[in-house]
């Protein structure tokens, strides 16, 4: 039986930090999986093709969740915005 000489990677290794940073950079752009949920739907909104399209309107709360993984190192991000809101309306 061969000895396991490879150790688990840790954040103390530069390559691990680099992979986390790369994954974080990806989720700040467009990454997969991406989930868009509206109003009272908390997350993982997946309408059936037979359901009507959701048309966003002013005042709707939209949550966008997305993530990326590089060699098992995961970064996720979530953003919430209100349709029609601006910095001046806050």
Q: pLDDT by residue for the chain (90 residues), tens digit each?
A: 455 677 888 888 888 889 888 888 877 776 567 888 999 988 777 788 999 988 999 999 999 988 887 888 888 888 999 999 887 766
In a domain, 10, yes or no: no
What total of structural domains would you count in the chain? 1
Which residue segment(s) compose the domain that 79 sits in? 35-46+57-84
Per DSSP, the three-state class of 27 is helix
**Among 36, 30, 23, 25, residue whose Cα is nearest residue 81:** 36
* pLDDT value for 88: 79
The whole-model pTM stands at: 0.61
DSSP secondary-structure letter at 89? G
């Amino acid at each position: 039986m061969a000895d396991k000489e490879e150790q688990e990677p840790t954040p103390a290794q530069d390559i691990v930090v680099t992979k986390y940073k790369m994954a974080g950079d990806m989720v700040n752009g467009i990454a997969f999986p991406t989930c868009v949920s509206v109003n009272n739907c908390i997350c993982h909104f997946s309408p059936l093709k037979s359901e009507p399209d959701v048309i966003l309107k002013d005042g709707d709360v939209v949550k966008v969740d997305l993530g990326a993984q590089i060699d098992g190192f995961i970064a996720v991000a979530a953003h919430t915005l209100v349709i029609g809101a601006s910095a001046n309306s806050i």
